[in-house]
Amino acid sequence: MTKAREPGSNCSVCGRSRHLSEMALGASLRESVVSLIRGEHPEWSAEGRVCFECLNQYRAEHVRRLLEEEKGDLSALEEQVIQSLREQESISENVNEEFDRALTFGERISDRLASFGGSWTFLIMFGAVIVIWMAINLTILARQPFDPYPFILLNLVLSCLAAVQAPIIMMSQNRQEAKDRLRSEHDYRVNLKAELEVRLLHTKIDQLLTHQWQRLLEIQQLQVELLEEAGRKH
């Protein structure tokens, strides 16, 4: 059995052939998008159809102009959001995996050392080493201690440990701040795109409702005229 050919048409903007399910009727577009299309194609008629690829380009341009009116010059993040609207791409991603993949071996080691240095395991081990150190020098090696009271060598070791541990912790904190900043930028991009998508959706719904009301009024007017004509005949 021969399969019926799917109905199609040419885009009135780019001229390429598309299936009807991949196109929108020009009369259903909002005025701001229509003005953008007519600005580049003065001969364009709202009776034609526009493919979604071209429509996304003009919608993205409309969003760009709205943001420029509200915020002035656009940032790089906002440009990325507009580009994702134009290409209909998803911008959500796991920034933690991306950030961790870019870490070097030394950065991974410093993060683990910083994590261990801020744990109860380190504090307990550190306290046990100090107690054992003092006990050995005060009792077992009381006659010839390698670090007699007031434990100058122990103080030197603790100072060196603190001097080495502090930069490692600071490097780990700086990377955590960079990760938090990257996460906040990603959240801003996702929230901005969601806000713009919702705004476009609300406008589209309002336009569809207005169009439906106009159609209902036309049908109602036609019914009234038919009733009047039928009444005159009787």
Banded pLDDT at 128 (limits 50, 70, 90): very high
CB 28 within 8 A of CB 22: no
Amino acid, res. 28: S
If asked whether residues 7 and 68 sit together in one domain, one would say yes
Higher pLDDT, 211 or 146: 146
If asked whether residues 210 and 104 sit together in one domain, one would say yes
Residue 193, C-beta contacts closer than 8 angstroms, at least 6 positions apart: 81, 84, 85, 91
If asked whether residues 83 and 152 sit together in one domain, one would say no
If asked whether residues 83 and 145 sit together in one domain, one would say no
- The number of CA neighbours under 13 Å toward the Cβ of 25 is 7
Mean pLDDT across the stretch 71-93?
69
Residue where a domain stops, chosen among 89, 115, 137:
89
* Tokens coding 88: 């209909």
Does the reported pTM lie above 0.95? Answer: no
Model pLDDT, residue 139: 83
Model pLDDT, residue 118: 81
Report the relative pairing of strands 17-19 and 23-25 from DSSP bridges: unpaired
For residues 79 and 61, what is the distance between their CA atoms, to the nearest angstrom?
11
- The torsion defined by the Cα of 124, 127, 131 and 137, in degrees rounded to 10, comes to 130
If asked whether residues 9 and 125 sit together in one domain, one would say no
CB 18 within 8 A of CB 11: yes
If asked whether residues 142 and 55 sit together in one domain, one would say no
If asked whether residues 117 and 159 sit together in one domain, one would say yes
For residues 193 and 201, what is the distance between their CA atoms, to the nearest angstrom?
12
Mean pLDDT across the stretch 22-50?
73
Flag the least confident range among 74-83, 99-108, 130-139, 146-155: 74-83
For residues 163 and 59, what is the distance between their CA atoms, to the nearest angstrom?
57
If asked whether residues 76 and 190 sit together in one domain, one would say no
In the chain, count H helices and then E strands: 7, 4
Total domains in the chain come to 2
If asked whether residues 72 and 163 sit together in one domain, one would say no
For residues 98 and 102, what is the distance between their CA atoms, to the nearest angstrom?
7
Give the pLDDT confidence of 163-202 residue by residue, as tens digits: 988 888 888 888 888 888 888 888 887 887 777 777 777 6
Phi and psi at residue 136, to the nearest 5°: -65, -45
Residue where a domain stops, chosen among 61, 89, 117:
89
Residue where a domain stops, chosen among 59, 89, 119:
89
Neighbours of 173 (CB within 10 A): 11
Higher pLDDT, 161 or 90: 161
Tell me which residue range forms the domain holding 180: 98-234
If asked whether residues 107 and 26 sit together in one domain, one would say no
For 196, the 3-state DSSP assignment is helix
If asked whether residues 61 and 112 sit together in one domain, one would say no
Helix (H), strand (E), coil (C) string for 148-182: CCCCHHHHHHHHHHHHHHHHHHHHHHHHHHHHHHH
Percent of the chain's residues with pLDDT above 70: 72
Mean pLDDT across the stretch 138-156?
84
Average pLDDT, the chain: 76
> Quick check: 74 pLDDT over 80?
no
If asked whether residues 120 and 218 sit together in one domain, one would say yes
> Quick check: 41 pLDDT over 80?
no
Model pLDDT, residue 207: 58
Model pLDDT, residue 124: 92
Mean pLDDT across the stretch 121-149?
86
Distance of CA 130 to CAs 104, 118, 123, 151, 156, Å? 34, 17, 11, 10, 13
Model pLDDT, residue 3: 39
Model pLDDT, residue 44: 73
